[in-house]
Structures are given as C-alpha cells and as structure tokens.
A = this chain, B = another copy of it.
Amino acid sequence: MASRTIENYLKQLWLEQQDTRGKYVPMGKLAALVGVTAGTATTMVKAIADSGLAKYAPRAGVRLTKAGEQLALHVLRRHRLLELFLVEVLGIDWSDAHGEAEELEHVISETVLARIDSLLGHPSVDPHGDPIPSSAGKFETLELCSLAELNTGNATVIERIVDQSSEFLRFAQSSGLVPRAQVVIEHTNPQAGAISARPAGKEPVMLSMVAAAKFLVRPCNARRGKRRNRRPVPPVSP
C-alpha cells in the first residue's frame, strides 16, 4: 500500500498531467503542489518511479504510469466522495470540505467508502462539480466552457468551479455562483477585462476574466467572436 505521502504525490501528479497529453511534469511544479522543497520531490519521485508508479526523466520531469494513474484515481475518488459526504450528510461548509477530505482520503477503508457511495446514491460529481472517478478507476469529463467565453445576454447553468481555495468558494457561495445555479450574462466589457453575471434571484456580480474562467457552464452555445480553438479538457481540481 502506498503511504499517504506517496498518495498525495500521485494525486497532484495526476491533476497536473491531465491537460498536458504526454508532457512531463517538472519537478519544481510538483514540489510546489505537494508543498515540499524541490530536492525532496526529486528524491521521492525517484522512489515512486522505482516502484513502477511513474516514469522519471532527470531534468525533464515525471509522468505517471498506467499503474500510477489508477492509484491516483482511487485517491481522487476517495477525496471527492468524501467532500460530497461531508457537505451533504454532515453539513460541513462547502469551503472547508476540501481541507477535511485532504486528510480523510488516506485513512478511509474500502468498506466505509462503499457505504458512503451508496448512501449518496453513487453520485457522479462532487460539491464543486468535479467528476468522481468510478470504483474501477474510470473517469469522464464533460466538455464545458467557462463564463468568460459567453456573450452579453447568454443564459447558462454553472456545472463546475475550478478553484478549491476556501476564500474563493466563500465568495462564490455568497454571490450565488454555485453548481446548478442559473446565470445570465448582463454585460461584457472586453476592454476592462470584466463581465457582470446575474445568478437567478440574486444581485449581479462583477467578475474579472480570470475569475469568470473558474466557472464552467453548460450549455455552451454562443461563443465570443475571437474564440477558435476551444480548450480540449478543462483544468482539473482536487
């Protein structure tokens, strides 16, 4: 069994290598994500590679093997099911669930996880709209675009929020910008780099393009003029 330290490395690696088909994750990046020095990451990655869970290319970076991906997906499944459980069953605040799950994901047994899963009705997304991998390690992502890509007058439903920081989540919740909320784009101002979005039954909210890009929505009908190459897979978060 992988230690909790290694589980964390694997999960961060998976999240990071998701969008970069085939590219290696640089050591510095991984170190920052896990929260250790680069030297520590190098040492750990070599150990992980020795156990067959990753491929390590000195001075280039690291990438999970199939085995490593499977293990990472199981950790991710535990994490996201736990997040949903904490929010839905225990009433833990949305913005705190992530931190709690970060610890629990390493100690929960398969038995308990299975009970949680069935208690929640085998859900497919966590409280942030992030997809939950199946127990077989299968993982599906919807094609979504973000609030930043919509024009004035468009109406959509928020499906997913790709920022786990409690501050941002608290802001999102207090504005009414939560998964499953209907939203209308009131104004777009490309010059100012900002838009105004109004969640159904709430006050309009000003969002910078950076902030707007964190809200993934559906349907994604009307595209802004300049867009040509839609991003293939949205950035993924724990």
Contact = CB atoms under 8 A, between A and B. Distances in A.
A5 interface: no
Contacts of A112: 86, 90, 92, 100
A67 interface: no
Contact of A96 (B90, B106, B111): B111
A116 B92 CA distance: 10
Interface residues of A, number: 18
A92 B111 contact: yes
Contacts of A108: 104
A89 interface: yes
A103 B107 contact: yes
A115 interface: yes
The number of times this chain is found in the oligomer is: 2
Given A100-B112, A112-B100, A119 B90 contact: yes
A169 to B, nearest CB: 15
Contacts of A119: 89-90
A60 B109 CA distance: 39
Nearest to A93: B111
Nearest to A85: B90
A103 B96 CA distance: 21
Contacts of A100: 109, 111-112
Contacts of A201: none
A58 interface: no
A128 B111 CA distance: 20
A236 to B, nearest CB: 25
7 contacts: A86-B112, A89-B119, A90-B115, A92-B112, A92-B115, A100-B111, A103-B107
Give me the 6 closest cross-chain CB pairs, A-B, nearest first: A90-B115, A103-B107, A107-B107, A100-B109, A91-B115, A100-B112
